[in-house]
Amino acid sequence: MSQLARRIAAVCREMERDDLREIVAERDAGALLDRILAALAPGGDTTTLERDLDDLDAHLVAYGIPGGLVPPRWRAYRPSPVAADGPRPKITVWACPTASCARWLPVAGAVPRCSVRDVPLVEKEISA
Ligand SMILES: [Zn+2]
């Protein structure tokens, strides 16, 4: 999985908790977040997406979140099972149906939605 997909998944996860919206408001960077969300919408213009995510990271670090969207510890020790390969058992997870978002959740309870694209997650079989 690409680092970009991982960062988009982090945006998706953080948007669900409302923290990100509050942090960018405090940093006066609401327009930046709006541009990122617009880029992630179907047919959105992604030409400045990576640079905007870099800027968002810088705001998060300045706010006091080490590593920004994807903390270094997560980067180092938690490779996503979606990207895993080899002879491993298959498990079913809920995954974002859009190719750009790498978010996944264990299947339990009600079907969650992607907070970036506002679509329900879909069941997907992955290697554990
Ligand atoms: Zn998503």
Strand partners, 71: none
Question: Quick one: pLDDT band at residue 90, thresholds 50, 70, 90?
Answer: confident
User: What are the structural domain ranges in the chain?
Assistant: 3-74, 80-127
Ligand 1 centroid–CA 63 distance in Å is: 24
Distances (CA, A) of 4 to 32, 111, 128: 17, 25, 22
Average pLDDT, the chain: 83
Burial 8-23 (b: 16+ CB within 10 A, else e): bbbbbbbbeeeebeeb
pTM above 0.75, yes or no: no
Ligand 1 centroid–CA 106 distance in Å is: 14
- With a CB cutoff of 8 Å and minimum separation 6, the contacts of 15 are 21, 37, 115, 116
8 A C-beta contact, residue 91 and residue 125? yes
Q: Residues 32-83: pLDDT tens digits? A: 999 999 998 888 999 999 999 999 999 999 998 888 888 765 544 555 666 6
Ligand 1 centroid–CA 69 distance in Å is: 14
Percent of the residues in the chain that have a pLDDT greater than 70, as a whole number: 83
